[in-house]
Amino acid sequence: MAGLTREELRKEIADTVKETTLPMIKEIVGPAVAEAVKAAVDKAPYASGKNPIEALLAAAGNVPQKTASAKADMVGRFIRCIGAAKMTNRQPIDIAKAWNDEGMVAMLEEGSARAKAVPMAAGDALAGGFLVPEQFSAEVIEFLRPASIVRRLGPLTMPMTTGTLNIPKVTAGSTGSYQGENTNIVASNLGTGNIKLTYKKLSALVPVSNDLLRYSSPGADAVVRTDLVRAMASRENQAFIRDDGTAATPKGIRYWASTVLNATVTVNLANTVTDLGRLIVALMNYNIPLTKPAWMMAPRIWNYLMTLQNTNGFYVFREEMMAGRLWGYPFGVSTHVPINLTDRGGTAESELYFVDMDDVVLGESLNLLIDASQEAAYVQGTTMVSAYSQDQTVIRAIQEHDLVMRRNESAAVLIGCTWGA
């Protein structure tokens, strides 16, 4: 940089910052922040003696919080915006303007433009519901993953743009044979089938204090989003594990599994190890490749395995399970695996699942419908609660999805399990 004037040197430094630092900001924090910083640096008066690095830091520090907020927080703010619109009989975009939320205004304008031809359009919350834009629906789904053990263990997720989706499956493989001299090759046929995913509608009701809806508060966004995710995750997790496919529910892994084994009656270390091995061998006997195997269990079974000791007082599985694995495979723990079953005549029986998640297919629409009501009632425990009398707005979220297994043999269930009872 020898021979440059002071102004040229400052300009050179600023250009270097934009070429190297801004891409890092964009990757780590987000494009909105990067653009805001770039605009501030572009306006930096190089000839005025102002250090471009200082201009960069000042610009980064002055980025409005709404610009730098994560998409996940935008989801919560979006939902509050819909609720406030219903509460005040106004359009969501008017609420967003009153909150001076430019990002939300732009997003609502885009959604409204795309949905003008659709009945109960996405741009009109007073028409019966508001269709959450895909990018924010996807963020809700991302938050569902750690909350739902089936999602977290990594099923094959496929988008469903219509109400049904057909998945081909192989029911019987081709076989080879040895051929003698002057004999014909024995032909074999590849057996194929089809499984169909069909939308199942999941509805979740989330009561929200009207105090959270009346004012724009960043902290309230996370509260609303978290409550919605918890309500949806709890019900879908139950469905994906144990619903039987009737009453408009998905069929859970328990009822897809072709292998159901009885747990050994006597509970001790040797029998526990044997039963764990039986589940794995059940899949291996069907030539399941075990590309993404995982366990699913109740908290009681998790506690039993964590505290199981050998005759020398050493914990058998604890160290591995503290790292999130059992026999080398990841596991998920959920209260939606019951501990009060009676399959083998007891009253405190549970189940243990071993599943190759690569054969679990979750089809879902990215259409998340949000509606709100101040007059609705909801059940809390055994009590019916009136939203109107509690000064609340009930947010209703509707999502559509289905779950199937490409091979029933990819799931094995150990029933009659009294470990830790």
Q: What are phi and psi of 362, to 5 degrees?
A: -110, 110
How far apart CA 216 and CA 64 sit, in angstroms, is: 14
Q: Considering only residues 224 and 415, tell me which one the structure prediction assigns the higher pLDDT.
A: 415
Residues 3-19 pLDDT 10s: 666 666 666 666 666 66
Confidence of residue 291 (pLDDT cuts 50, 70, 90): very high
How far apart CA 167 and CA 170 sit, in angstroms, is: 10
Nearest C-alpha neighbor of 295 from the set 104, 149, 145, 144: 149
CATH number of 135-169+190-249+363-405: 3.30.2400.10
Query: Which positions ≥6 away from 64 have C-beta within 8 Å?
Result: 36
Q: Considering only residues 379 and 24, tell me which one the structure prediction assigns the higher pLDDT.
A: 379
pLDDT at position 290 over 90: yes
How far apart CA 123 and CA 332 sit, in angstroms, is: 39
Structure tokens at 201: 């509608």
| pLDDT score at 10 | 63
Residues 272-282 pLDDT 10s: 999 999 999 99
Parallel, antiparallel or unpaired: strands 191-198 and 383-386 = unpaired
Structure tokens at 81: 């915006």
State what percent of residues in the chain have pLDDT above 90. Answer: 38
Residues 226-243 pLDDT 10s: 888 888 888 999 999 999
How far apart CA 250 and CA 238 sit, in angstroms, is: 10
Extended strands (E) in 43-107: none
Range name among 60-64, 210-214, 283-287 with the lowest pLDDT average? 60-64
| pLDDT score at 315 | 97
Mean pLDDT of the chain: 79
| pLDDT score at 150 | 94
| pLDDT score at 382 | 84
Question: Cα separations (Å) of 119 from 3, 112, 129, 131, 380?
Answer: 67, 12, 10, 11, 33
Residue whose token pair is 């250009």: 15
pLDDT at position 123 over 50: no
Q: Considering only residues 109 and 313, tell me which one the structure prediction assigns the higher pLDDT.
A: 313
Residue whose token pair is 């990819």: 410
pLDDT at position 327 over 80: yes
Q: What average pLDDT does this structure show over 343-372? A: 91
Residues 186-229 pLDDT 10s: 666 656 678 888 999 998 888 888 887 776 566 777 778 888 88
| pLDDT score at 112 | 59
- Beta carbons of 390 and 207 less than 8 angstroms apart: yes
Q: Which helix (H) or strand (E) holds 169?
A: strand 164-172
Q: Considering only residues 351 and 76, tell me which one the structure prediction assigns the higher pLDDT.
A: 351
| pLDDT score at 84 | 82
Range name among 58-62, 71-75, 365-369 with the lowest pLDDT average? 58-62
Let me know the angle formed at the C-alpha of 35 by 34 and 37, rounded to the nearest 5 degrees: 65
| pLDDT score at 71 | 57
Confidence of residue 119 (pLDDT cuts 50, 70, 90): very low
Q: What homologous superfamily does CATH list for 253-360+406-417? A: hypothetical protein PF0899 domain (3.30.2320.10)
| pLDDT score at 415 | 98
Q: Among the residues of 299-395, which ranges form H helices?
A: 299-307, 318-322
pLDDT at position 59 over 90: no
Nearest C-alpha neighbor of 155 from the set 407, 336, 413, 405: 405
Confidence of residue 37 (pLDDT cuts 50, 70, 90): low
| pLDDT score at 241 | 97
| pLDDT score at 116 | 47
pTM tops 0.85 = no
Confidence of residue 350 (pLDDT cuts 50, 70, 90): very high
| pLDDT score at 66 | 40
Residues 131-189 pLDDT 10s: 776 766 776 777 777 778 999 999 999 888 888 888 877 666 556 677 777 777 766 66
